[in-house]
Amino acid sequence: YRNPMYFHSTALPPSIAAATIASLKYVKEHPELRDKINKYARKLYQALKNMNFNLTNSTTPLVSIVFETAEDTFLATKMLYEKGIYVVPFIPPSVPKNASKIILTLNANLQEDDIDYVIKAFDEIRKERP
């Protein structure tokens, strides 16, 4: 992990700073995107809750599904992957024992059909692994 150009530097490269400023400006100018993401997050959260998945409370576009074991988390991750949904499992020591989880991160590029597809995938997982 050596990059001589930044070896003794903690400053961000100008391109990263400029991209961040442009992103913040874009988000400020398009509040409908935030509304869309929040709407999808609420829909997904409520659907998973209705299926009795163990969720962490959240008011953000991050939906965390908690599993009892790391094995259950890996199995759900594999099943989602087979359905074309890529998620990353969080297991101990990154999270407490018996709190392994998958975190779904929503973004403005998603459409309602995408959310419905994820909901359907979790419903199939629930039916296969009650």
pLDDT at residue 8, as a whole number: 60
Give mean pLDDT, residues 106-124. Answer: 96
pLDDT at residue 87, as a whole number: 94
| pTM confidence score | 0.81
Residues 54-96: pLDDT tens digits? 999 988 899 999 999 999 999 999 999 999 999 999 999 999 9
Fold of 31-128: Aspartate Aminotransferase, domain 1 (3.90.1150)
Domain spans of the chain, in order of start: 31-128
C-alpha to C-alpha distance for 79 and 67, rounded to whole angstroms: 14
